[in-house]
Amino acid sequence: MTAVRVGRSLFAVSIALCLAACRSPATYVEVIVATDADPSRAWTLAVCPVRAGSADPSSMEQCPQRWTQPAASSNTPFEGSFSAQPPSNWNGSDRTDLVLFAEVGASATSPTVRFRRRLSLSLLRGRAGYVRVFLPVQCGQASSDCQRTPLASCTVAAVCEERGETCGDEGQCVPVEVEPVERPADAATDALPRPDATVRDAGALRDVLDASDVSDASDARDVSDASDVTAVIEAGDAADAAMRTPVRLVWPPTEGTVRSTGVEFRWNTRVPSGVVLLCTDRACASSVHSIPFTDADRVRSMSAMPTGRLFWRVDPGGSSPSIAPSVAWPVTVKASGCIEPPAFDIDSDGLGEVMASAHQATVGGLVNAGTYSLWYGRAPAPTTAASRSGTLNVANAHYGEGLAHGDVDGNGYVDFIVGSPGGDMGMGRLTVSLSTAVRAMPASAVYLLRGPVAARRGARVAMLGDLDGDGAIEVVEADIGTGMESLRVRSLQSTSVVRLTINGPNTGMSADIASHCDLDGDGVPELVYGAPRFDAMGGAVKIHRGANAVTSGAAWTWPEALTVRCVGANDLCGTSVACGDIDGDGRHDLVVGAPGTTFGSAVVLRSTSTTSIAFAAPIRLDGVQTNDRFGTSVAMGRDANGDGFCDLVVGSQNAIASGMINAGSVTYYPGSATGPNRMLARTFSGNVAGEQFGHAVALLRDSNGDDRADILVGADLASPTAMNQGRIALYSITAMGAVVTPPLLSSNGAGAGDTFGGVLMR
């Protein structure tokens, strides 16, 4: 399967092709088209269904249906649908081709691009399906052989064309793939559902999200003969398929890590009988382990599973005709060592992505509109330029002040959530970018938070996981406005549902919220958040054990299990919090930042129980100078030096470095069986006074291919070319624990006051 890098943004459009005179049961295919074309440019798309073997239409004007998008200033992806008539004299079984025409208007930096693609399909009368197509235009020239990577990076384009293939992301030839899948026969052909979160949650697009993209098929290519099973819609009653109950993941989470034995796999519905398969590929063509079950919604692996990065899926088998097989979800299996939290890996290639925001950035003259930048993980280093960026294009939206990630639609690809506390006239907004096999996001889901004025709802966002086992994940989002502090546990279904509200005004609650936290190792997420103004500014961390949540009914109850307090007044305990397994026992531990102590502190609490929330004696780490604000930021739970233990990173935003006040520093602690290893700790610092290097830190899944986690650092007040534009830097750690310089990636904010790097995806 080929992943697609995009330069800026994309549009997506659904095209329904009704064949066999649209009789019921209908025969048609919905073509989901994605492209890296800038949606601010005018473009036209046309579709001509033709008989196999016939000549291409000479122009898009010969196509019965065309769609035109005028030039616009928005960067929002387009989504839509329309139907096309079948070719004349189709006999119900002959191969049918689709000829796609596209024209993307000129921009200030790019010429008009015109191109066409031809797809060959095998369809049967009374059957329906989907096919995915990618139309690349970011090539820097107007041509009919435009590749999906910049032309300079695609030196083998001519060779690929001769072989009937296309140019891949890394400059190699890769096959062009077409994969139709079944669709309900009674679906409307003139107003097909858009490929959004609502449809995905209903399961209608379940198989589409596993389908490979099609790109650069300039020449007709037969992908539909008997030897190519992926291009033929399988026999079977499409209407029956529509009625089958989809199986959705509950645990382990997408891109999570588990032990090789004793893992309990859980899904959302009871299945009469079947098997959990572990496979080396997403299509599950090669199964390496199976766990049979009977009448269950969970099964535990008693024998050792193979280790490495695998995919697991639930196969009900022929004995459960009313249950549809699940998609495959990536998981890393380890025999021992660091059990990492789910990774931010949206293209599912095993390398982590890098993402940071500038929520105070001015965009297009809109003050505090906010934006984010994202880089894809690559060997030997993440891409040197931002692979994606985004904004809400609304003044004072503060788009990107909250960031979180998780598999929202359950398709086996990690999605990401952006909080905008000033969006929608100040009510707050969450925007979820939904990932598929194509790196570009073909759709997004928007959830209005409806907070009161000045509540700043959505300024903090964290991913919990599937708390109630219904196959839809829960997130927690917070108001942090003065006197209005509260948080809500929100279920991200087709529409968001608030399950629980916790109020705590004037405690600073939700100054930080831990994502993907499982302190007792039972596979049910805990809610962990800081309240640094609690108890005379001494601060505290509040913990709600997942197993204690009462999730029946619309309104949940979730009692607090434990409050962790600091000792002194003004410690500001809970300014930062993070979870991760630092001692290698398979359970997450907790680290709490208390930057208000004399030097600033970070306290590590090692989990000791599988039946409750309990900790060993705290391990306190301190800064080295007065007012360092050590503990301003913390991150824990990934193995940066490759020794098998998860590590800890602590930021000191006000540390003096080389005589420079408030330059800031970051300290890296390798993990061990007894917690953070002080003797092997390494500190690295900012290089300019006042930049606050270490204001934010994150430990990321390996982003450069060396099999070790990387450290992302934000210096939000850095001023390399303009005041407070901010910067980020990404560092790797050697097997000996040394910090490698120069960093793998370094990037500055776009303009003055951006405070880029103040919020990091972690």
Whole-number pLDDT of residue 420: 95
Whole-number pLDDT of residue 176: 44
Query: How far apart (Å, rounded) are the C-alpha atoms in residues 560 and 541?
Result: 11
Whole-number pLDDT of residue 438: 62
Quick count: other Cβ atoms within 10 Å of Cβ 228? Answer: 15
Tokens of 417: 């959530």
Query: How far apart (Å, rounded) are the C-alpha atoms in residues 585 and 580?
Result: 11
Residue type, 130: Y
- What is the β-pairing status of strands 402-406 and 415-420? antiparallel
Query: How far apart (Å, rounded) are the C-alpha atoms in residues 664 and 641?
Result: 23
What are the two backbone dihedrals, phi and then psi, of residue 72, each rounded to the nearest 5 degrees?
-140, 165
Whole-number pLDDT of residue 505: 79
Helix or strand run (H / E) with residue 503: strand 496-503
Burial of 732 (0-12, 13-18, 19+ CB in 10 A): buried
Whole-number pLDDT of residue 139: 41
Bridge partners of 529, per DSSP, are 513, 542
Query: How many Å from the N-terminal Cα to the C-terminal Cα in the chain?
Result: 27
Helix or strand run (H / E) with residue 200: helix 197-202
Whole-number pLDDT of residue 92: 64
Query: How far apart (Å, rounded) are the C-alpha atoms in residues 409 and 579?
Result: 24
Whole-number pLDDT of residue 111: 59
- What is the β-pairing status of strands 329-334 and 256-259? parallel
Whole-number pLDDT of residue 388: 80
Whole-number pLDDT of residue 660: 95
CA 111 distance to own-chain centroid: 32
* Residue of 52, 328, 33, 63 whose CA lies nearest to 195: 33
* Residue of 129, 201, 155 whose CA lies nearest to 447: 201
Query: Is there a contact between 83 and 18 (Cβ–Cβ < 8 Å)?
Result: yes
Bridge partners of 128, per DSSP, are 28
By three-state DSSP, how is residue 494 classified? coil
The single residue listed with the structure tokens 């080929």 is: 2
Spatial neighbors of 108 by CB under 8 A, at least 6 apart, are none
Ranges of residues in the chain whose predicted pLDDT is under 50: 1-26, 73, 76-82, 138-164, 167-242, 441-442
pTM > 0.75: no
Query: Is there a contact between 258 and 302 (Cβ–Cβ < 8 Å)?
Result: no
By three-state DSSP, how is residue 546 classified? helix
* Residue of 362, 352, 344, 353 whose CA lies nearest to 749: 362
